[in-house]
């Protein structure tokens, strides 16, 4: 009887030991597999981040506003939209602004021009505009949030206004025209400094930029109206941040895998 008990105890111990050994081996396999997955993830994230940084250098950070919506309840310009595009790009010495007309037929930027905004913590009157190319404009600025000279019909108040002559087609800002300016004068100025909505002034809403359009030939109410932007289009700068984030996650997973 004693011999049988000893045998049973021995068998139970062996089964217990085998079970523990198998559990340890399984844990080791899971841990090994986990490390392999984390190493692979790390490599993929670092590679993806590096590619973002490689193909989108810091010098090309920009912000684009496509003016594609008529908000003054007047006639819409001839489709397709957008009709006006503003691109702010960080460059050496400041921010390069490129205004492009995508208007059709006889339509042109009207007497009230194109308006856009500046970070409200900055004073637009301190900005310096240097002409670079295209059709030169008359530029005015304000630091007054309720200046009617900077108000778009059916919208709010803006900080900066570009105006072109409208007397004849030879001087109008119309089909295929561009205007390129370097904006400086404020320390730390960047493309993102212009990514702000208009100050509320009634109407349908607030926009980052707005333009008065005349000579509209599309069927509607009258021959002039106001257009604004939809969602701002982020340029490579946002991808730079994504690349940095992905690389950081990859490095973090590598550190974890070493623990």
Assess whether 51 and 149 both reside in one domain. Answer: no
Assess whether 219 and 92 both reside in one domain. Answer: yes
Per-residue model confidence (pLDDT) at position 200: 85
Per-residue model confidence (pLDDT) at position 98: 98
pLDDT bracket for residue 56 (50, 70, 90): very low
Per-residue model confidence (pLDDT) at position 4: 58
Assess whether 30 and 97 both reside in one domain. Answer: no
pLDDT per residue as tens digits for the range 134-173 = 999 999 999 988 888 899 987 889 999 999 999 998 899 9
**Which two tokens mark 32?**
């090994």
CA distances (Å), 188 to each of 24, 119, 184, 185, 203, in order?
58, 12, 9, 9, 33
| Rounded-to-integer distance, Cα 241 and Cα 231, Å | 19
Does 11 map to a domain? no
CA distances (Å), 89 to each of 62, 129, 182, 216, in order?
4, 14, 9, 30
Per-residue model confidence (pLDDT) at position 145: 83
Assess whether 198 and 83 both reside in one domain. Answer: yes
Per-residue model confidence (pLDDT) at position 232: 46
Q: Which domain holds residue 38?
A: 20-58+236-259
What dihedral angle (degrees, nearest 10) is formed by the CA atoms of 149, 150, 151, 152? Answer: 110
- C-alpha dihedral sign at 179, 185, 190, 194: negative
Q: Is the pLDDT of residue 45 over 70?
A: no
| Rounded-to-integer distance, Cα 240 and Cα 49, Å | 8
Assess whether 164 and 92 both reside in one domain. Answer: yes
**Cα 87 from chain centre:** 11
pTM, two decimals, is 0.68
Total domains in the chain come to 2
pLDDT per residue as tens digits for the range 223-253 = 899 999 975 444 444 455 555 656 566 555 5
Assess whether 88 and 184 both reside in one domain. Answer: yes
DSSP-H helix ranges across the chain: 2-55, 236-258
Q: Is the pLDDT of residue 46 over 90?
A: no
Q: Write the DSSP symbol of residue 76.
A: P
Q: Is the pLDDT of residue 121 over 80?
A: yes
Per-residue model confidence (pLDDT) at position 217: 83
């Amino acid at each position: 009887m004693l011999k049988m008990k000893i045998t049973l105890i021995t068998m139970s111990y062996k089964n217990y030991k085998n079970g523990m050994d198998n559990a340890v081996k399984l844990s080791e396999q899971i841990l090994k597999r986990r490390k392999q997955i984390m190493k692979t993830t790390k490599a993929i994230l670092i590679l993806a981040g590096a590619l973002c940084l490689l193909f989108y250098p810091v010098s090309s950070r920009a912000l684009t506003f496509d003016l594609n919506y008529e908000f003054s309840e007047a006639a819409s310009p001839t489709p397709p939209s957008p009709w006006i595009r503003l691109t702010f790009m960080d460059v050496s010495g400041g921010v390069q602004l490129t205004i492009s007309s995508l208007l059709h037929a006889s339509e042109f930027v009207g007497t009230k021009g194109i308006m856009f905004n500046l970070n409200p913590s900055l004073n637009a009157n301190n900005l310096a505009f240097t002409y670079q190319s295209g059709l030169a404009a008359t530029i005015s600025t304000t630091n007054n949030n309720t200046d009617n000279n900077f108000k778009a019909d059916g919208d709010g108040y803006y900080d900066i206004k570009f105006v072109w002559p409208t007397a004849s087609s030879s001087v109008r800002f119309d089909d295929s025209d561009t205007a390129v300016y370097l904006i400086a004068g404020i320390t730390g100025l960047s493309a993102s400094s212009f990514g702000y909505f208009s100050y509320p002034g009634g109407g349908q809403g607030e926009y980052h930029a707005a333009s008065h359009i005349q000579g509209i030939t599309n069927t509607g109410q009258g021959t002039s109206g106001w257009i604004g932007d939809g969602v701002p289009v982020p340029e490579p700068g946002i991808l730079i941040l994504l690349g940095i984030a992905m690389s950081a996650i990859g490095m973090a997973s590598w550190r974890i895998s070493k623990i």
